[in-house]
Structure 1
Amino acid sequence: MIPPLLPKIDAILVLDHEGNRLAGKYYGEFLSKPSGDQTVEALRLQFEQALQQKIAGISARPDAAEVVTVQGRTAVFTGGNGPDVKVVHVGSPSESELVLAYLCEGMHSALAQLMGGSTDRSMVLDNLELVFLLIDEHCDGGLILEVDGRKLASAVLLRDEDASASDDMGHMSHQPGLPPGVAPGDMTLTQAFRQARDQFFVGMTSRDGM
């Protein structure tokens, strides 16, 4: 049983300005079973299209989420200025709009920090791995784990660093300073940060004669 005050999320979505899903997860029984001739993915796309019709042309400040009702569900979203993506949290009609807005704003804050202050479509697509890690750190099975943007961003970067360290163990031959299999012009923002950090420590070690 879920405590009555513990918020439960049906879906978290990151959509571009046309309503296309760039990343997201559905939880529990919400749109998780085929209906008639429609597959689960078709049902979800239908829901996202209905959502887009409601939020198209509406921009919401990162600290002031907007609220709409779609197919009997409450959806709150932030973002949507120009090429910026929208972060959407979907909950049941019984969930507090203020609580859902608070959760959505927290994730948007973390996303902006991970993307270096930019949440445009191209930046998100270049760093989808971080976006999915963010969703997992924010929510597990529909239950919210963390809301603070700084804590979320830190947790995501730590997990990404651990995963990269494991990958590096299996790729001993690659260009110094670059992640395995990545050309200099193909690095994501986080990979660039990691390269700069590694080069800094190498320089410090050489200077100290260690």
Structure 2
Amino acid sequence: MESGAPEPSLYTVKALFILDNDDNRLLAKYYDPKLYPSMKEQRNFEKHVFNKTHKTDSEIAFLEGMTIVYKSSIDLFLYVVGSANENELMLMTVLNCLSESLNLMLRKNVEKRSLVENLDGVFLVVDEIVDGGVILESDPQQVIQKGDDSPLSEQSVAQVLQSAKEQIKWSILK
């Protein structure tokens, strides 16, 4: 391999976060602990990204040595962050999968209020798409379908836990 080319890696995504239109964090997952180790550094990075992107129509930004793809939806901003040499199309695939999965899960009502009300399911969606910085799934239908054991579109985590408690209770009584 050429000495100037970066080593290929499965660890594509460095961070993924969702902000509202007032720059408040609703969800953030940082997959590289060396990138921004403290909460203060993460929030400063998010503010910097938000300030540079919230008034633009483009979908890609290069800030602080990072490749950032983003999309807005009503009062939300979705961001996927990769290294400077990361393939923008791969990052955009993750972003589109996240956006479409949320669209399916929230029944086309992707806005702050519905996202906050279904935050447990949103975390499950994010975890189905990216795990530790590795892209696991890029098909929104598959992301939602994987939740069929505990359907993301129909049940909350609390409902699943309640159902499991009832099953355990009945198995003890038998």
Place the TM-score, normalised by the shorter chain, in its bin. Answer: 0.7 to 0.9
Find the counterpart in structure 1 of residue 126 from structure 2.
135
Find the counterpart in structure 2 of residue 102 from structure 1.
93
Compared CA separation, residues 137 and 31, structure 1 to 2 (3 A): same
TM superposition shift of 1:79 = 2.1
The one of 11, 17, 21 aligned to 2:15: 11
Q: After superposition, what is the alpha-carbon deviation per residue over 1:29-86, rounded to whole angstroms, capped at 9, x for unaligned?
A: 34353xxxxxx000000000001111112357xxxxx001221111101224x42x12
- 2:18 corresponds to which letter in structure 1? V
Three-state SS of the structure 2 residue aligned to 1:155 is helix
Find the counterpart in structure 1 of residue 107 from structure 2.
116
Compared CA separation, residues 94 and 113, structure 1 to 2 (3 A): same
TM-score when normalising by structure 1: 0.67
Find the counterpart in structure 1 of residue 172 from structure 2.
none
TM superposition shift of 1:116 = 0.5
State the distance in 2 between where 1:117 and 1:23 align: 19
The one of 62, 71, 74 aligned to 2:67: 74
Which protein has the larger Cα radius of gyration, Structure 1 or Structure 2? Answer: 1
1:17-36 equivalent positions in 2, closer than 5 A: 17-33=21-37
Aligned pair count reads 157
Q: After superposition, what is the alpha-carbon deviation per residue over 1:4-32, rounded to whole angstroms, capped at 9, x for unaligned?
A: 26351100111111222111200023435
The one of 146, 165, 174 aligned to 1:170: 165
Find the counterpart in structure 1 of residue 171 from structure 2.
none
Considering Cα pairs closer than 8 Å and 6+ residues apart, tell me whether 1 or 2 has the greater RCO: 2
TM-score when normalising by structure 2: 0.80
1:23-102 equivalent positions in 2, closer than 5 A: 23-33=27-37, 40-58=38-56, 66-80=59-73, 82-83=74-75, 85-102=76-93
TM superposition shift of 1:123 = 0.8
Three-state SS of the structure 2 residue aligned to 1:112 is helix
Q: CA RMSD in A?
A: 2.3
State the distance in 2 between where 1:25 and 1:146 align: 16
Identical columns (%): 26
- 2:68 corresponds to which letter in structure 1? A
Three-state SS of the structure 2 residue aligned to 1:77 is strand
Structure 1 unaligned segments of length 5 or more: list them: 34-39, 61-65, 173-210
Structure 1 runs of 4+ aligned residues shifted over 4 Å read: 160-163
